[in-house]
Amino acid sequence: MKKTLLTLLTCMSLSSLLVAQNAKETSIEFNKKSQPAVSADFDMPGMITEGAIKKKMKDAKIKGGNSKDGFITYAEVIIPEIRAEKMDVYFKIEDKTTSSTLYMLTSKGYENFMSQATDPEVSAKTITYITSLKKDIMTYGYNDEIAKQTEKQEDLEKDLKKAVKKGESLVKDKAQTESNINKNQNNIGNLKADKESQQKTLDFVRAKTGTVEQMNSIKKEISKQEDAVKKATKKYESALEDADDYKKDLEKTNTNINENQSEQVRLKGEIEKVKSLIADLKGKLSAL
């Protein structure tokens, strides 16, 4: 409905010419009886038409507006544009999703409804009054949509702010990962050199010879050096695994940065569209 409403608002300059011509006297069922009424069609959904009427009455300090059996009722009220004496006024809105038909009934009380035949002046003024509601309904519709779009803009701006903050965090993560890669690369070189050095020492110890008594000492030295080689090898291999992990982290971070930048571009585009729409709606509102 929201998208359709926007389309209707955009085309309103054409449809508004018809509103003043379709107000007419008609009849509608009230308490299971056909009663005289005045109706007009509006290119606004029923909820907008209803909201506009209630606002107009509230602004005019006209009390009432209770809904019963599908009618919005204002009992014993004075609407100067129609009648200087108290009367009961009933509104019924027929919602047609993208438009609505508004019915207005006026009664002297006790369901003594007025019509062209019984009260021609009141009937004529009622037609004029319901026709004049066009501006109120259009105004209410524009303001309602402006409020919704403003809220949407605020939400988008919050999302953009979060995206920018996340983007800054991702850049820091990338810098940290690159720093880790550089440090680890240097560490790999040192660990490789240490592993090779420990291996040479092991080879040297293994090449030693001596008496039977000396060989026991040599075996212990060999065992100790083998442990040193294993530790050096483990550290070197661990650094290689870290290098692979850092590489994956960097690739993932770069992907996230690209996605974040695309999201920021999308949000900025959405914000500009909403701003443009709000400006257009305000322009139409001021032109009423």
82-112 tens-digit pLDDT? 999 999 999 999 999 889 999 999 999 989 9
Q: Higher model confidence: residue 31 or residue 213?
A: 31
In this predicted structure, the answer to whether residue 6 has a pLDDT above a threshold of 80 is no
- In the prediction, which pLDDT does 76 show? 96
- 261: phi then psi, degrees, rounded to nearest 5: -65, -40
Average pLDDT of the chain to the nearest whole number: 91
Please give, one letter per residue, the 3-state secondary structure of 127-152. HHHHHHHHHHHHHHHHHHHHHHHHHH
Contact in structure between 145 and 281 (CB atoms under 8 Å): yes
- In the prediction, which pLDDT does 234 show? 96
Find the helix or strand (DSSP H, E) in which 41 lies: strand 33-42
Residue 9 pLDDT class (50, 70, 90 cuts):
very low
- The count of C-alpha atoms lying within 13 angstroms of the C-alpha of 229, restricted to the half-sphere facing its C-beta, is 17
Residue 205 pLDDT class (50, 70, 90 cuts):
confident
Closest residue by Cα to residue 114 from 74, 87, 77:
87
Q: Higher model confidence: residue 47 or residue 222?
A: 47
* CA–CA distance, 82 with 59 (Å, rounded to integer): 17
- In the prediction, which pLDDT does 209 show? 81
- In the prediction, which pLDDT does 8 show? 47
Q: Higher model confidence: residue 234 or residue 208?
A: 234
- In the prediction, which pLDDT does 18 show? 39
Which tokens belong to 201? 């020492």
pLDDT digits (tens, 9 = 90+) for 102-157: 999 999 998 999 999 999 999 999 999 999 999 999 999 999 999 999 999 999 99
In order of 5, 82, 255, the CA distances from 249 in angstroms are 47, 75, 10
In this predicted structure, the answer to whether residue 22 has a pLDDT above a threshold of 90 is no
Query: Per DSSP, what are the bridge partners of residue 92?
Result: 71, 103
- In the prediction, which pLDDT does 207 show? 87
DSSP per-residue codes, 157-188: HHHHHHHHHHHHHHHHHHHHHHHHHHHHHHHH
- In the prediction, which pLDDT does 251 show? 97
Q: What is the pTM of this model?
A: 0.74
Which tokens belong to 56? 């107009």
- In the prediction, which pLDDT does 93 show? 97
